[in-house]
């Protein structure tokens, strides 16, 4: 019986370590499963700032530079975002070094901020995102940066 419980615990521990994760900023509430969309994790603040984490297949094992360039090009050259800052993210735990990009974009005359932290971990690309009205995001910038830097690759 003891061996069985130990085995179940080890399996659960292993399973819990298989999916990537991030720590949400204070004041954020994780959404229900049916609101996850394409994300592995997603949380929202009462004033409408959203953070989320997704993992995508990295079929050719492309480099971090490849994905940073692809994402920047997608957002800036195809969708009119303005890149306002790009900074490196140091290696953290089992997660390889990444890159954090901060963009602004106009929506109905209102400025929004969008942040994307990119990590490449073996066969996966991990993207932690945050976004909301700039006037709201600006007050949470430190917390959001900390959250986006907290990505753990897990077993990917």
Residue span binding another protein (CB under 8 A) among the ranges 4-12, 13-21, 51-59, 90-98: 51-59
The reply on whether position 141 binds another protein by CB under 8 A is no
The reply on whether position 93 binds another protein by CB under 8 A is no
The reply on whether position 105 binds another protein by CB under 8 A is yes
Rounded distance, CA 115 to CA 124, Å? 19
The reply on whether position 119 binds another protein by CB under 8 A is no
The answer to whether 82 touches 104, Cβ cutoff 8 Å, is yes
Binding another protein by CB under 8 A: which of 64, 68, 89, 127? 127
The reply on whether position 27 binds another protein by CB under 8 A is no
Rounded distance, CA 81 to CA 76, Å? 4
Rounded distance, CA 111 to CA 150, Å? 26
The reply on whether position 106 binds another protein by CB under 8 A is yes
The reply on whether position 122 binds another protein by CB under 8 A is no
DSSP string, 37-53: TT-SEEEEETTS-EEEE
The reply on whether position 143 binds another protein by CB under 8 A is no
First to last CA, the chain: 31
The reply on whether position 70 binds another protein by CB under 8 A is yes
Three-class SS state of 25: coil
Closest CA to 131 of 117, 143, 116, 142: 116
The reply on whether position 80 binds another protein by CB under 8 A is yes
The reply on whether position 33 binds another protein by CB under 8 A is no
Rounded distance, CA 58 to CA 42, Å? 21
Residues that bind another protein (CB under 8 A): 31, 35, 37-38, 44, 48, 50, 52, 54, 56, 70-71, 73-82, 105-107, 112, 114, 116, 127, 129-132
């Amino acid at each position: 019986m003891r061996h069985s419980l130990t085995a179940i615990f080890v399996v659960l521990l292993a399973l819990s370590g298989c999916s990537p994760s991030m720590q949400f900023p204070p004041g954020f509430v994780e959404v229900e499963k049916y609101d996850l969309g394409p994300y592995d994790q997603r949380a929202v603040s009462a004033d409408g700032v959203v953070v989320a984490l997704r993992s995508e297949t990295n079929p050719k094992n492309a480099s971090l530079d490849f994905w940073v360039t692809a994402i920047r090009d997608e957002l800036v050259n195809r969708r009119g975002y303005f890149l306002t800052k790009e900074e490196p993210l140091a290696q953290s735990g089992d997660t390889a070094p990444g890159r954090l990009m901060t963009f602004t974009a106009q929506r109905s005359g209102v400025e929004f901020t969008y942040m994307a932290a990119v990590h490449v971990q073996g066969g996966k690309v991990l993207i932690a995102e945050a976004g909301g009205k700039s006037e709201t995001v600006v007050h949470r910038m430190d917390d959001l940066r900390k959250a986006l830097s907290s990505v753990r690759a897990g077993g990917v």
